[in-house]
C-alpha cells in the first residue's frame, strides 16, 4: 500500500521533478537560469538606455524642424569643448558635489563616532532612528521646505533679520546647503558601520601603549574608518552630481549639469546626451579611485 | 575567494562589450523613417471616440468650458500643460496626443517634422467667422494648406510688484538696461527659453536703431551678438529663469522676484490672490513702448491622432463664440472668434468665468484691430534664411539654443 502511494505521488509530481532533474548536477545551468532574468533586465533596459544615450551624442538636430538627424558627427563634443559655459557648469557641479561630500563627512563623523563608540544602546537606537527619519519623508517635500525657508520672505531671512544679516538666498550656496542636508544620512550610516567594526580593544591597546587620544584618532581610528568615509562619499558625490531637481528649485539662476541636460534635451537632445557623458566619466574615475581606497568592502 | 576575484575581472569587460554591442545594434537601426508624407486632411467628422488628448498652454483648457465640451460631445479631455514650445513639440512626437495649442515657434517645427496633419476647415463651422487677419498666416498655413485653427493672440507681459517698482514701468529697459536692471539685482524673472533672445532684439530694435533690426527672429551676426551680449549682462541681475507658470506665481508672491516677463495667466492669478501686481494698461494694449514678443496660437491635429473626431469637435468648440470668449477673458488675450466680441457674449462668458463683466474687452485687447499687432512679434522659428536681401546669413534655432545655455552661464 505504502509503496504504491509513493509511486502515485511521484507520478503526479513527475513533470516538475523531471524539470528539476534537468538542473541536477549542472551548476552552470542553475546559475545561468537564475541570472537570465536580472541579466536581461540589466542589458536591455539599463545598458540599452545608456547605449542609446551614448549613440545619440553623435547625432545632430535639424535647425528648422528640431528633428534628430541620425548621422555621425563629433560636433557635439567639439561644441562642449569649445564653449566655455559647459566647462564652467561642469566644474561648478563637480565643485558643489565635492563641497557637499566634505561637509557631510565633517558633519557625519562625530555623529557616527558618538553612535558607534560612546552612546548607550538606548541612545544609539534613538540616534539611528533620528538619522533615518528624514529618509521617510518624500524628497520633494524636503526640497520645497528648504525653498520656502530660503526665499526672500522665508524663515532664514526672518531669523537673521534682527542681527542685520541677509540669508544666502537662492543660488549655488543654497544648492550646497540643501544637498548637504539631503544626503547626510547616506554618509552617517557607512561611517557608523565602519566604526562599529573597529574593536574597542584596539583603542585600549593604543592607549596602553601610551598614545594620546589625538594620536589614537590619527593613527588607529582614521585609517580604519577611511574606507567607510570613501564609501559614504560615493553616495553624497554621485547623488549631488546627478541631481537637477534641487538646483532647479533653489537655484533658478545658476545652472548645473543636470539642469543643462534637462533644459537642452528638448531642443538639442544630442548635445544633452554628449554633456551627460561628463558625469559618467567623472563617476567612473571616482569609483576607480574609491575601489583603490577599499571603499567597496564597506558598502 | 581568489577564483571569484579572478572572475570578477571579466565583469567590467562584459559590461563594456555588451554596451558596445547594443550601441552597434542601435546605430544599425537608425534608418530614417519617411516623414515627408504630409498626409491629407480628414474628409468628415464622425462619432466622437469618447476621449481626446490635448497638449496646451496653461489656462487654455480649463473650466467652465472644459466641462461644457465634455458634456456636449462626450469626449473626455486628457490634458497636458506645457511651459515651452520645445516641450510641446517633444510631447507631440511621442505620438500620444491628438492635438496641441501651438505657437508659431512650434507650428513650423511640427509641420516640417510631419507630426501634424492639414486641417479641413470645412469641418470646423466656426472657422468662417474667425478674424480674417488670423487666417492664412505663415505660422498656420504652409504651401497654401491650412494646418490649424487660430485660437487667440496676445503679447508677453511686463509685470512688476507695485510695492517695489515705482512708477509702473512702461519700457523693457527696467529689465534690460544694465543701469536700471541693477536696481532689482537678483529680483528679475526671465522666461527660460531660447526664444527670449527675441525679447532682447525687440528692445534693441527700439533703442539701437543703427543695428538695423527689422524682425527680432531674423538676426544676422551683429544683431544676434548684440542681443546675446545684452542678455549676458542681464544675467547678473536675474533672480530666476522660469518655464513653469506656477513656479513663477510662487516666486512673485514670495517676493523672490519683483519684475519680470510673464503671461496674462500668471498676472491675473496673482491679482486674484490680492498680490500688488502691475503691468502696462489697456491704453497701450498692455504693452511697453517698444512693443513685445507675443503669440498667435493655433490648434493643430496630430497626423496619426487616435481620436480625430473628438479633436475636430474640440477645434470647432474652442472657437465657438461663447467658449472662445471664455478662454480669452480667463487667460487675458484677444479672441480669434469675431462673434466672441459681441457684448452679450462677452458678458455671459465673463459670468461663466466668474469674472467682472467687461463688454469692452475686445477693444482693450485690440481683437478687431489688425494695425495694432504690427508691434507684436509673434513667436516663430528662427531660420538661416533672413527672408530679405541678406540671404542665408541669419542665425538658426540651433544657434539660438546654444547661445541660450551660454547666456544662463
Domain membership flag for residue B5: no
Predicted interface score ipTM higher than 0.90 = no
CB contact under 8 A, A266 and B381: no
State the pLDDT at residue B23: 64
Residue B232, min C-alpha distance to chain A (Å): 12
Out of A281-295, B200-214, B229-243, least confident range: A281-295
Mean of the pLDDT values across residues B228-249? Answer: 94
Is residue A3 predicted with pLDDT exceeding 50? no
pTM of the model: 0.82
Of A51, A169, A252, the CB nearest to B19: A51
> Do B149 and B169 belong to one domain?
no
Of A47, A252, A271, the CB nearest to B242: A252
Of A72, A266, A271, the CB nearest to B87: A266
Nearest chain B residue to A92 by CA distance is B409
> Do B89 and B183 belong to one domain?
no
Domain membership flag for residue B4: no
Domain membership flag for residue B326: yes
> Do B171 and B320 belong to one domain?
no
Domain membership flag for residue B9: no
- Mutation target to probe the A interface, by most A beta carbons within 10 A, among B193, B255, B398 is B398
> Do B97 and B245 belong to one domain?
no
CB contact under 8 A, B19 and A47: yes
Closest listed residue to residue A192, CA positions, set A262, A265, A133, A118: A118
> Do B255 and B383 belong to one domain?
yes
- Mutation target to probe the B interface, by most B beta carbons within 10 A, among A39, A40, A52, A63 is A63
Domain membership flag for residue B276: no
CB contact under 8 A, A63 and B383: yes
State the pLDDT at residue B1: 40
Structural domain including B397 reads 157-262+379-408
> Do B196 and B339 belong to one domain?
no
> Do B58 and B144 belong to one domain?
yes
Residue B250, min C-alpha distance to chain A (Å): 10
* Each residue's pLDDT tens digit, A218-266: 999 999 999 999 999 999 999 999 999 999 999 988 999 999 998 888 8
Q: Are strands B51-56 and B76-81 parallel, antiparallel or unpaired?
A: parallel
CATH code at position B358: 3.40.190.10
Of B23, B247, B398, the CB nearest to A268: B398
Nearest chain B residue to A171 by CA distance is B239
Mean of the pLDDT values across residues A114-134? Answer: 92
Instruction: Provide the mean pLDDT of chain B.
Output: 90
| pLDDT tier, B31 (very low <50, low <70, confident <90, very high otherwise) | very low
Q: How many domains does chain B have?
A: 2
> Do B249 and B300 belong to one domain?
no
Is residue A47 predicted with pLDDT exceeding 90? no
Domain range list for chain A? 2-56, 77-298
CB contacts of A281 in chain B (<8 Å) are none
> Do B184 and B202 belong to one domain?
yes
Domain membership flag for residue B206: yes
State the pLDDT at residue A166: 84
Domain membership flag for residue B317: yes
Which of the listed CATH numbers 3.40.50.170, 2.40.50.100, 1.10.287.610, 1.10.3720.10 matches domain A77-298?
A: 1.10.3720.10
* Each residue's pLDDT tens digit, A147-182: 999 988 889 988 998 888 888 889 999 999 999 999
Is residue A126 predicted with pLDDT exceeding 50? yes
Of B26, B242, B408, the CB nearest to A255: B408
The answer to whether A193 faces chain B, any CB pair under 8 Å, is no
| pLDDT tier, A13 (very low <50, low <70, confident <90, very high otherwise) | low
Q: Please give the interface size between A and B, counted as residue pairs whose CB atoms are below 8 Å apart.
A: 112
CB contacts of B238 in chain A (<8 Å) are 253
- Residue B118 and residue B114: Cα distance in Å, rounded? 10
> Do B356 and B401 belong to one domain?
no
> Do B150 and B163 belong to one domain?
no
> Do B73 and B214 belong to one domain?
no
Amino acid at each position: 500500500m505504502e509503496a504504491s502511494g509513493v509511486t502515485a505521488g511521484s507520478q503526479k509530481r513527475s513533470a516538475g521533478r523531471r524539470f528539476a532533474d534537468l538542473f541536477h548536477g549542472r551548476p552552470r545551468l542553475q546559475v545561468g537560469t537564475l541570472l537570465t532574468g536580472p541579466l536581461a533586465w540589466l542589458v536591455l533596459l539599463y545598458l540599452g538606455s545608456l547605449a542609446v544615450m551614448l549613440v545619440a551624442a553623435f547625432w545632430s538636430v535639424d535647425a528648422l524642424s528640431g528633428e534628430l538627424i541620425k548621422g555621425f558627427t563629433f560636433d557635439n563634443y567639439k561644441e562642449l569643448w569649445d564653449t566655455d559655459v559647459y566647462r564652467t557648469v561642469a566644474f561648478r557641479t563637480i565643485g558643489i558635489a565635492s563641497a557637499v561630500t566634505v561637509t557631510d563627512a565633517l558633519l557625519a563623523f562625530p555623529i557616527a563616532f558618538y553612535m558607534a563608540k560612546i552612546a548607550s544602546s538606548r541612545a544609539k537606537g534613538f540616534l539611528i532612528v533620528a538619522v533615518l527619519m528624514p529618509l521617510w519623508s518624500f524628497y520633494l517635500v524636503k526640497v520645497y521646505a528648504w525653498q520656502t525657508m530660503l526665499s526672500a520672505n522665508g524663515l532664514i531671512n526672518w531669523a537673521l533679520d534682527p542681527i542685520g544679516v541677509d540669508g544666502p538666498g537662492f543660488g549655488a550656496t543654497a544648492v550646497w546647503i540643501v544637498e548637504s542636508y539631503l544626503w547626510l544620512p547616506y554618509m552617517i550610516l557607512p561611517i557608523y558601520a565602519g566604526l562599529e567594526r573597529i574593536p574597542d580593544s584596539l583603542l585600549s591597546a593604543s592607549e596602553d601603549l601610551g598614545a594620546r587620544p589625538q594620536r589614537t584618532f590619527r593613527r588607529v581610528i582614521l585609517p580604519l574608518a577611511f574606507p567607510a568615509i570613501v564609501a559614504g562619499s560615493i553616495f553624497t558625490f554621485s547623488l549631488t552630481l546627478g541631481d537637477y531637481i534641487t538646483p532647479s528649485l533653489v537655484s533658478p539662476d545658476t545652472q548645473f549639469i543636470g539642469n543643462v541636460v534637462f533644459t537642452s534635451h528638448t531642443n538639442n537632445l544630442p548635445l544633452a546626451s554628449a554633456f551627460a557623458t561628463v558625469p559618467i566619466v567623472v563617476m567612473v574615475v571616482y569609483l576607480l579611485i574609491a575601489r583603490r581606497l577599499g571603499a567597496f568592502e564597506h558598502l | 575567494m581568489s577564483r571569484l576575484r579572478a572572475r570578477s575581472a571579466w565583469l567590467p569587460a562584459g559590461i563594456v562589450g555588451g554596451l558596445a554591442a547594443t550601441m552597434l545594434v542601435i546605430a544599425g537601426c537608425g534608418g530614417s523613417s519617411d516623414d515627408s508624407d504630409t498626409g491629407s486632411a480628414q474628409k468628415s467628422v464622425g462619432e466622437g471616440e469618447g476621449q481626446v488628448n490635448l497638449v496646451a498652454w496653461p489656462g487654455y483648457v480649463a473650466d467652465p468650458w472644459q466641462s461644457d465640451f465634455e458634456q456636449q460631445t462626450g469626449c473626455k479631455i486628457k490634458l497636458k500643460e506645457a511651459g515651452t514650445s520645445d516641450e510641446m513639440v517633444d510631447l507631440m512626437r511621442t505620438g500620444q496626443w491628438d492635438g496641441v495649442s501651438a505657437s508659431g515657434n512650434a507650428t513650423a517645427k511640427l509641420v516640417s517634422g510631419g507630426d501634424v496633419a492639414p486641417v479641413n476647415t470645412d469641418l470646423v463651422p466656426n472657422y468662417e467667422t474667425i478674424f480674417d487677419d488670423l487666417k492664412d498666416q505663415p505660422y498656420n498655413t504652409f504651401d497654401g494648406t491650412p494646418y490649424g485653427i487660430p485660437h487667440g493672440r496676445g503679447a508677453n507681459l511686463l509685470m512688476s510688484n507695485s510695492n517695489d517698482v515705482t512708477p509702473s514701468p512702461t519700457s523693457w529697459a527696467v529689465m534690460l538696461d544694465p543701469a536700471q536692471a541693477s536696481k532689482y539685482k537678483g529680483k528679475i524673472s526671465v522666461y527660460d527659453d531660447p526664444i527670449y533672445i527675441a525679447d532682447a532684439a525687440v528692445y534693441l530694435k527700439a533703442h539701437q536703431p543703427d543695428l538695423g533690426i527689422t524682425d527680432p527672429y531674423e538676426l544676422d551676426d551683429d544683431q544676434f551678438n548684440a542681443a546675446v551680449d545684452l542678455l549676458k549682462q542681464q544675467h547678473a541681475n536675474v533672480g530666476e529663469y522660469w518655464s513653469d507658470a506656477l513656479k513663477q506665481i510662487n516666486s512673485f508672491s514670495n517676493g523672490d522676484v519683483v519684475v519680470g516677463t510673464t503671461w496674462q495667466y500668471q498676472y491675473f492669478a496673482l491679482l486674484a490672490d490680492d498680490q500688488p501686481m502691475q503691468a502696462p494698461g489697456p491704453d497701450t494694449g498692455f504693452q511697453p513702448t517698444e512693443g513685445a514678443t507675443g503669440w498667435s496660437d493655433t490648434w493643430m491635429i496630430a497626423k496619426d491622432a487616435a481620436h480625430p473626431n473628438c479633436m475636430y469637435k474640440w477645434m470647432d468648440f474652442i472657437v465657438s463664440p461663447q467658449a472662445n470668449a471664455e478662454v480669452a477673458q480667463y487667460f487675458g488675450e484677444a479672441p480669434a472668434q469675431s462673434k466672441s466680441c459681441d457684448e452679450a457674449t462677452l458678458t455671459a462668458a465673463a459670468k461663466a468665468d466668474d469674472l467682472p463683466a467687461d463688454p469692452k474687452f475686445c477693444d482693450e485687447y485690440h481683437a478687431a484691430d489688425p494695425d495694432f499687432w504690427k508691434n507684436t512679434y509673434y513667436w516663430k522659428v528662427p531660420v538661416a534664411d533672413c527672408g530679405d536681401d541678406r540671404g542665408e546669413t541669419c542665425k538658426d534655432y540651433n544657434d539660438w539654443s546654444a547661445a541660450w545655455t551660454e547666456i544662463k552661464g
